[in-house]
Amino acid sequence: MKKSVLIADDHPIFRSGLRKVIEESRVYDVIGEVNDGETCVAQAELLKPDIMIVDLNMPRRNGFAVVEWARRNLPRCRTIVVSMYSGKDFVQQAMEIGASAFVAKEDADAELLKALDGGGTSFFLSSSAGRGEAPPGFGSHSDSKAQELISSLTGAEKKVLRLVAQSMTSRDIANALGIGERTVHTHRQNISSKLELKGSNSLLQFAIRNRSVVERMT
């Protein structure tokens, strides 16, 4: 019996490429494609896939948050992160929150099936993953610089940043802190400004890369 696979990535051409690789193997059945994290969670609840392939940088809920959701709600589902952001910090985060594999997008054509076949308790890492660092503008500050920037945040902003470092969505942060989701968005915007970050996913990258500093200072 073929194992079922759900693909979550906001680039339709890349999703199509993944589907082709997977279906040509004749071992797996792609039962759905989605382009954002919230839809991924909804479809996973409905379809109960054996495997989910998730991108990190997705709208509405990032890939790390999806992996954590799957660990809590679909413990038998294996999650495979496939991302262009494949530095060691991202790989470490994926391992810590329960992903089964991490495949750099540049390796997907050649190594995705190896990740799908992995199984067991071992963590599969594609050949290019875990080597590089985050690109400029994605939180590549030194510890001392990170501490200096974080110290400029208010107490409420530090609390939000700590939860961002845990890959929590804005909705989850709002629930955890007992505040409105709009307030969380405002805090995130202010934090990004104070931390000199630009880009839709830069705050998450900063929080992950500097998580030890964030935890100490919040």
d(CA 145, CA 1): 53
Class of domain 143-217: mainly alpha
Locate the domains of the chain by residue range.
3-125, 143-217
Q: What one-letter code names the amino acid at 105?
A: K
pLDDT score for 102: 93
pLDDT score for 144: 66
Which positions of the chain have pLDDT values less than 70? Answer: 119-121, 131-144, 199-201, 218
218 close to 172: Cβ distance less than 8 angstroms: no
pLDDT score for 135: 43
pLDDT score for 120: 56
d(CA 185, CA 103): 30
Question: Exposure pattern of 2-13 as b/e (b: 16+ CB <10 Å)?
Answer: ebbbbbbbeeee
CATH code of the domain occupying 3-125: 3.40.50.2300
CA angle 124, 141, 106 (to 5 degrees): 30
pLDDT score for 183: 95
